[in-house]
Amino acid sequence: MSTEFLYFVEVLINGLMAGVMYSLVALGFVLIFKASGIFNFSQGVMALFAALTLAGIMEGQVPFAHIINSIFGTNIHHFGWHVPAVLAIILTVFVMIGFAWAVQRFVFRHLVGQEPIILFMATIGLAYFLEGLGDIMWGSDIKTLALGLPQGGARWLEDATAGLGGDDFYGFFIDKLDMVATVVAAVLVTALILFSQYTKHGRAMRAVADDHQAALSVGISLNFIWILVWSLAGFVALVAGIMWGAKSGVQFSLSLIALKALPVLMLGGFTSIPGAIVGGLIIGMGEKVFEYMIGPMVGGATENWFAYVLALLFLVFRPQGLFGERIIERV
Amino acid sequence: MNAMVDPYTTEDGRKIGGVLMDMRNITLRFGGVEAIKDISFNIREGEIRAIIGPNGAGKSSMLNVISGFYKPQEGEVHFRGSIRPPMKPYQVARLGIARTFQNIALFEGMSVLDNIMTGRLNHMKTGLFAQAIWKGAAEKEEIENRAHVERVIDFLEIQAIRKTPVGRLPYGLKKRVELARALAADPKLLLLDEPMAGMNVEEKEDMSRFILDVNDEFGTTIALIEHDMGVVMDLSDRVVVMDYGRKIGDGTPSEIISNQEVIDAYLGVAHD
């Protein structure tokens, strides 16, 4: 096999894996949008907040330390313990469930029946609120997530594939963290699909997504389902936050990954879980391949805009995305 | 004792029991408009109770009051002997009051089977965690409820479409699936909002047969709204007649037919 072709394959694989990371964020959007018609702009910030909380709990940080210190004149910052990763993840899940409850109780319960644009604006407000809350609770310094996730290229894969090409080819370089993310995403999506297809609460979730009145008439509490959905989205945000946080550190720019999820949603459709995955893969792969093939001709940096141009094309020719429900206006 | 509340057996051998649901002096207002004005009537266990009246009489509003979608400003709702406090629709459903809608409210994207399974939600008690890991109790429960749903599917003769997404079904079948979903809940009271609206003669006959069979076989108490007078007279044990939010008649079909006020309001004043 030619070296050139092998490089192309490597770019392709890396693109797919980068796409998985986008999918993780897009998933959270789809969950909430399907069940409540709310386009949750704060999904990216939820990922940031979850990652901040996880890092903070693990390091034994005192939440709201700055406020406490300035009120009581104390100087505490750490509890002085380290919480094991598994326990910290469980605690963070509880924090995200609490967040889901609060969002429902204090924001969306009062906005039932409002225009989509108003719900959307509320989520923008929520995004900024949550960003500020994360800052106040855990501080604004960059944190590392010491979860023990593998980093760097996979040596065994490099060694195993080095022989495929000529002397210039040193084997596929694939980030181990990306591999872990792929496996985690696959497990997560499978679990979500099984949950929504085959369990009572999953069925209730789909029922609410479909028709509110009918759902009420069979005894489903909309409020409960919305809290459940926001909790699930919070959990997905935590997974995304862990993966992105492990990759580039837990910093506030993490919330911007939401912007990369938008083109993914345009492609996959706002209402389809498989769509979020496939959309992410296409965007990730497309952007890496485009950069590799076309990038050198136009001076590079195509990754910054490729996804959005692709999304724009989809908006023009297939506005419901690849898997979204078809938009038919009956007259 | 009062003839309106004593249990008795009908000519065709069905048992009519005591009062299941008692609406007392219900008044419902939308802003300044009184949709229901001080109406009282009851529904007895095992009977088929019809609510009729011209368009805009307040029939659907009354059904929505019973199912908790509307909250009356005045009056009391008594269910199974005790007063029912103001409730959300899903709480009313959990009491065992199932309903269908005039404009069909089904989960269009889900299969017929899944739609009917949602009717069983209140009979499934396992918690979220057990559901999530899908083992033991949750699995057993799913199988039991699935068996119940299959019986309903057989009963309403919709085996052939059980896997079909509801959105693809014709109107008449959708109506039947909606009835199946309500029936799957094993309701103590079944509310049908114009179950035969927009149907052709054949579909109407089918639906009438199913309603009678449901009542006969399961002893389900049914309250229904219907426009077709012939159907109402054939199906129901007792009829409430509404006009402009008031109750103008209440009794057996034969009593209603000969009630002058009803004839004037609903059937039109006779031309001599």
Q: What structural domains does chain B harbor?
A: 3-96+187-267 (3.40.50.300), 110-181 (no CATH)
Cβ burial of B44 (10 Å; 0-12, 13-18, 19+) is buried
The stretch B18-37 carries a mean pLDDT of 93
Q: Is residue A279 part of a domain?
A: no
pLDDT computed for residue B61 by the predictor:
95
Kindly report, residue by residue over B259-268, the tens digit of the pLDDT: 888 888 766 6
Q: Note every long-range contact of B200-207, with CB atoms under 8 Å and residues 24 or more positions apart, other chains counting.
A: B200/B172, B203/B172, B203/B175, B204/B228, B204/B231, B206/B172, B206/B176, B207/B172, B207/B175, B207/B176, B207/B179
pLDDT computed for residue B266 by the predictor:
66
Number of Cβ within 10 Å of residue A69's Cβ equals 14
Q: Is B77 on the interface with A (CB under 8 A)?
A: no
Max CA distance (Å), chain A: 69
Q: Is residue A291 part of a domain?
A: no
Residues 213-252 of B with CB under 8 A from A: none
The stretch A299-306 carries a mean pLDDT of 87
pLDDT computed for residue A331 by the predictor:
58
Quote the CA–CA distance of A311 and A159 in Å, as a whole number.
38
Quote the CA–CA distance of B203 and B224 in Å, as a whole number.
17
pLDDT computed for residue B227 by the predictor:
80
- Least confident segment among A94-103, A317-326, B230-239: A317-326
Please list, in sequence order, all residues whose beta carbon lies within 8 angstroms of the beta carbon of residue B268, skipping any fewer than 6 positions away. none
pLDDT computed for residue A327 by the predictor:
61
Q: Is the pLDDT of residue A70 over 70?
A: yes
Alpha helices, H only, A199-328: 200-210, 212-217, 222-248, 257-268, 273-293, 295-298, 306-317
pLDDT computed for residue B2 by the predictor:
47
Q: Is the pLDDT of residue B22 over 90?
A: yes
Q: Which of B2-11, B81-90, B122-131 has the highest mean pLDDT?
A: B81-90
For residue A283, give the nearest of A10, A25, A35, A54 by alpha carbon: A25
Quote the CA–CA distance of A24 and B254 in Å, as a whole number.
66
The number of C-alpha atoms within 13 Å of A42 and in the hemisphere containing its C-beta is 27
B126 neighbourhood in chain A, CB within 8 Å: 200
> Across the beta sheet with B33-44, what order do the strands follow?
B33-44, B19-30, B74-79, B82-83
Quote the CA–CA distance of A193 and A178 in Å, as a whole number.
22
Q: What is the CA radius of gyration of chain B?
A: 19
Give a three-class secondary structure readout of A184-217: HHHHHHHHHHHHHHHCHHHHHHHHHHHCHHHHHH
Domains in chain A: how many in total? Answer: 1
CB of A91 closer than 8 Å to CB of A3: no
Q: Is B114 on the interface with A (CB under 8 A)?
A: yes
Quote the CA–CA distance of A267 and A321 in Å, as a whole number.
5
Average pLDDT, chain B: 88
CB of B195 closer than 8 Å to CB of B179: yes
Which residue is it, tokens 């030619």?
A2
A221 neighbourhood in chain B, CB within 8 Å: 88, 90
Please list, in sequence order, all residues whose beta carbon lies within 8 angstroms of the beta carbon of residue A123, skipping any fewer than 6 positions away. A38, A39, A40, A41, A42
For residue A18, give the nearest of A241, A243, A178 by alpha carbon: A178
Q: Which of A156-160, A195-199, B151-155 has the highest mean pLDDT?
A: B151-155
Q: Is B88 on the interface with A (CB under 8 A)?
A: yes
Quote the CA–CA distance of A15 and A245 in Å, as a whole number.
19
Q: How many CB pairs under 8 A join A and B?
A: 90
Q: Is the pLDDT of residue B39 over 90?
A: yes
CB of B84 closer than 8 Å to CB of B143: no
CB pair distance less than 8 Å for B99 and A217: yes
CB of A24 closer than 8 Å to CB of A185: yes
CB pair distance less than 8 Å for A195 and B121: no
What is the per-residue burial (b if ≥16 Cβ within 10 Å, else e) of A13-39? bbbbbbbbbbbbbbbbbbbbbbbbebb
CB of A236 closer than 8 Å to CB of A191: no
Max CA distance (Å), chain B: 73
Give a three-class secondary structure readout of B67-111: CCCCCCCEEEEEECCEECCCCCHHHHHHCCEEECCCCCCCCCCCE
ipTM (interface pTM): 0.86
Q: Is residue A274 part of a domain?
A: no
- Least confident segment among A47-51, A172-176, A221-225, B55-59: A172-176
- Looking at per-residue pLDDT, the higher value among B30 and B55 belongs to B30
User: Residue A197 is encoded by which pair of tokens?
Assistant: 């297809």
Q: Is residue A209 part of a domain?
A: yes
- Looking at per-residue pLDDT, the higher value among A127 and A271 belongs to A127
Q: Is residue A321 part of a domain?
A: no
User: Residue B133 is encoded by which pair of tokens?
Assistant: 């890991």
Q: Is A188 on the interface with B (CB under 8 A)?
A: no
pLDDT computed for residue B1 by the predictor:
38
B94 neighbourhood in chain A, CB within 8 Å: 219
Q: Is residue A63 part of a domain?
A: yes
Which chain B residue lies closest to A223 (C-alpha atoms)?
A: B90
Band the pLDDT of B8: cuts 50, 70, 90.
Answer: confident
pLDDT computed for residue A329 by the predictor:
59
Kindly report, residue by residue over B119-169, the tens digit of the pLDDT: 998 888 777 766 666 567 778 888 889 999 999 999 999 999 999 999 999
CB pair distance less than 8 Å for B105 and A213: yes
For residue A235, give the nearest of A108, A72, A46 by alpha carbon: A46
pLDDT computed for residue A156 by the predictor:
80
The helix or strand, by DSSP H or E, that contains position B202, with its residue range, turns out to be helix B201-218
pLDDT computed for residue A66 by the predictor:
87
| Bridge pairing between strands B33-44 and B189-193 | unpaired
Q: Is A193 on the interface with B (CB under 8 A)?
A: no
Q: Is the pLDDT of residue A146 over 50?
A: yes
Closest in A201, A207, A222 to B128, CB measured: A201
In angstroms, what separates the C-alpha of A272 from chain B's closest C-alpha? 12
Q: Is residue A65 part of a domain?
A: yes
User: Residue B89 is encoded by which pair of tokens?
Assistant: 């629709």
For residue B10, give the nearest of B44, B51, B50, B52 by alpha carbon: B44
User: Residue B73 is encoded by which pair of tokens?
Assistant: 């400003």
The helix or strand, by DSSP H or E, that contains position A8, with its residue range, turns out to be helix A3-36
Q: Is the pLDDT of residue B3 over 70?
A: no
Average pLDDT, chain A: 88
The stretch B21-39 carries a mean pLDDT of 93
pLDDT computed for residue B133 by the predictor:
65
Task: Supply the range of the domain harboring residue A143.
Answer: 31-257
Q: Is residue A296 part of a domain?
A: no
